[in-house]
A and B are shown apart, each in its own frame.
Chain A
Amino acid sequence: MAIELRQFHQTFFDESFEGLASMETALLRFEQHPQANRAEDREALHAIFRVVHSIKGGSGTFGFGWIADFSHLLESLLDDLRDGRRTLDRGLVGLLLRSVDSLRNLLEAARSNAPVDKTAVEEVTMALEDLRRHVPDKAAPAASPSTSTDAITHGWRIRFVPKPNLFRTGNDPLRILRELERIGEIKVHCEAGAMPTWRDLDPESCYLGWTIELTTNVTRAELDEVFAWVVDDAQVEIAPLEPSTAASAPDAHAGIKHTMVKLHGTSLRVSTHKVDTLMDVVGELVITQTMLQQTAARFTPAELPRLLTALTQLERNVRELQEGVMSIRLLPLGFLFSRLPRLVRDIGEQLGKRVELRLGGEQTELDKTVIERISDPILHMVRNSMDHGIESPAERRAAGKPEVGTIRIEAQQKGGNVIIELEDDGRGLDYEKIQARAVEQGLLPPNTRLPPEQLHELIFLPGMTTSDTVTDLSGRGVGLDVVRNNIRSIGGNVEVASELGKGARFTIRLPLTLAILDGLGVQVGDQTYILPLVSITESVRLGDEDLERLPDGTEVFALRKDYLPLVRLHDIFGVAPRVREVARGTVVIIEADNFHAGLLVDEILGQQQVVLKSLETHYRRIEGVAAATILGDGTVALILDAGGLIRLAHGRMTPATINAAAIPAGAVPLH
């Protein structure tokens, strides 16, 4: 039977990368707490050994020779560590971490069928080999024992007398005889001389022996294979029947080749618990369907309560199904966080700074796509904190702070959002300097004084850097503006708070998923629009007398102490509204990036969950529109983007461009 090995590749890669990540974590812990709990360390070492051992086993099976060789070398070194022939010091941890990198590169290359950075791997290989050579009490690997016994004969005469305890290992002489019969022709003579009397007979012991004449052309080595499992529990004598010498048989194992495949698409590892839950829900759905069918088949008005019950049940089933399917896409943030300790260590070494990383909320779950899209921004922010935030040990000492800086990253779920806080106890943001720099770079007109909350915004401006020197790590033009844009592109946001000399805190707010949105339906003319619930603060009724007109034509109204611009949605999208007077419509207050605006709509329809359909993939990007969705009655509705609308309201875009972008929603080809 031919079994395709490729089908196991994905599991192998997933598992290997996961293993390497935990190996890395354990190594970093060793490094940080060298004198930690002995028993715990031993267990960690065993776990590391198992990771490498598994990679070696898998790569051997799948024919990834280089990975197998490398992991074999690494495994031998770990074996020395495990058996106490060598101690784990800082230098060795460094080498092991580099080995993790090498294995990752090799695996990545094998997975995508891409070339690998040979020099880096070879360097580590050489370092490992050097180390191995310097263990005095390690015996040289034993030579293969079956060198001179591979002569081919006519057959063999075998005497096989098992010890009484043979059965205790689950072995059975019958199996051996059957095996011999398979490889040649046998003549068997049974020796029953050792058989005790009935009274003394122990049915669990073996008393028989055999002499077998085997006519075959198998080699001695192959014959030894047959007895390999029982050779310690039996007397086995083998002599050639009619010896003759011939060339040894070619190695049967040579020539086995595996091909590598390029893997397309990404995969997801899902806990069986989640799948089981889904199965349960689907089961209930089937029951509900039957119930509905039966009710429909013999429907009379009297059956109405029954129909309603079934429909309620259907609604619950669908909601559970939706939650279940969504949860499959959710991954714990730990997947992302686990990369950070290594990053912090490496950067710390590079910068000569010592930083303790405190992680929290690793079990908080987020959509896989969100995690993928957020990972670069977060890595960038950590780099940023270490480079610009945390001071050098000397500076910290002078400032009366502990030499070791702290970066705290914590995640938590709040309603439909996940909040990630990234806080450092470094020098904080120097607003004076930032403002001066902004003026210098022409980002601000000279002599402007900005209120604190807008000063915060400055660090997110493109081209903004407060660093005096461009370092290797950051300050290369990829700034926080890119970070913010990336986060915004997935419907999240980032804000900063800071105190000079004490540190800075970045707060990232992310949607749980990108697929479904909690929205508020609003009506304008014959169109329905969806406003993301997260960007709505309140809705108010205004009178026409509340409106004032600025010289540039912008309409504003007072809300408590602020003046907010009024955005007439019908103007933006060019639809005929049912109401034009503010007093007859409703004004929804939206918020984005601390800016507010009021949206004039005909009426509010109510809260609903909508499935996002990208407008960009089906049409193109439109300012003020985040996506589209299909409503329950089959019509298409645009999902509005509060940030974009506010930008429109603040007049950063001329009405001409807006009108050019406006299209009747129903004309958008969506499916």
Chain B
Amino acid sequence: MATILTADDTATMRQMISFTLSSAGHQVMQASDGTEALALARTRKFDLVIADINMPNMDGISLVKSLRELPDYKFTPILMLTTESQAEKRQEGRSAGATGWIVKPFNPEQLLTIVKKVLG
């Protein structure tokens, strides 16, 4: 099973993601903003990163950019959490190097489907 890093400033979202993925057998670590996520990412190699766009200190886009600069994360799947209304943000994220996105609101099943898709 995979090691997954999730970054979101909302505890509800973090908990839900973490709980859902953990119950699917993955190992999940949580970060509450981009800075924390980046620091965690440097400590080990995660198989997947799921990051919210809007976060204090370092937002999701900057996190993607910084992660892509790390040799370990050159090809790691990075998914962004976006809402329906954030089409331009999605593009921005893509240009920054994000693999794809998960549209909020989503339910646990949808999340697992997408994660399964990127992890293979």
Chain A contact residues, CB within 8 Å of chain B: 1, 3, 5, 7-8, 11-12, 15-16, 46-47, 49-50, 53-54, 56-58, 60-61, 68, 72, 76, 141-142, 167-172, 174-175, 178-179, 204, 228-229, 232-233, 256
A contact patch SS: helix
- B93 to chain A minimum Cβ distance, whole angstroms, is 9
The answer to whether B13 touches A256 (Cβ under 8 A) is no
Which residues from A are CB-within-8-Å of B106? 61
- B17 to chain A minimum Cβ distance, whole angstroms, is 10
Which residues from B are CB-within-8-Å of A72? 85
The answer to whether B78 touches A170 (Cβ under 8 A) is yes
Which residues from B are CB-within-8-Å of A68? 105
Which residues from B are CB-within-8-Å of A53? 54, 83
Which residues from B are CB-within-8-Å of A204? 74-75
The answer to whether A1 touches B112 (Cβ under 8 A) is yes
The answer to whether A169 touches B97 (Cβ under 8 A) is yes
Within 8 A of A (CB), among B68-120: 68, 74-78, 81, 83, 85, 87, 91, 94, 97-101, 104-109, 112, 117-118, 120
The answer to whether B99 touches A5 (Cβ under 8 A) is no
Cα A362 to Cα B9 with chains together (Å): 24
The answer to whether A3 touches B23 (Cβ under 8 A) is yes
Q: Which of A49, A57, A174 contacts B13 (CB 8 A)?
A: A57
Residue of A nearest to B48 (CB): A170
B58 at the interface (CB under 8 A from A): no
Cα A1 to Cα B112 with chains together (Å): 9
B contact patch SS: mixed
B43 at the interface (CB under 8 A from A): no
The answer to whether B100 touches A171 (Cβ under 8 A) is yes
The answer to whether B97 touches A58 (Cβ under 8 A) is no
The answer to whether B75 touches A229 (Cβ under 8 A) is no
The answer to whether B104 touches A60 (Cβ under 8 A) is yes
The answer to whether A50 touches B16 (Cβ under 8 A) is no
The answer to whether B12 touches A15 (Cβ under 8 A) is yes
Q: Which of A16, A47, A170 contacts B56 (CB 8 A)?
A: A47
The answer to whether A169 touches B104 (Cβ under 8 A) is no
B29 at the interface (CB under 8 A from A): no
Which residues from A are CB-within-8-Å of B91? 232
The answer to whether B19 touches A57 (Cβ under 8 A) is no
The answer to whether A61 touches B105 (Cβ under 8 A) is yes
The answer to whether B56 touches A169 (Cβ under 8 A) is no
Q: Which of A54, A76, A179, A232 contacts B12 (CB 8 A)?
A: A54
The answer to whether B104 touches A12 (Cβ under 8 A) is no
Given contacts A58-B10, A175-B120, contact A168 B74 (CB under 8 A): yes
Given contacts A169-B98, A175-B117, contact A3 B10 (CB under 8 A): no
Cα A322 to Cα B78 with chains together (Å): 45
Which residues from B are CB-within-8-Å of A56? 83
The answer to whether B10 touches A15 (Cβ under 8 A) is yes
Residue of A nearest to B96 (CB): A169
The answer to whether A1 touches B13 (Cβ under 8 A) is no
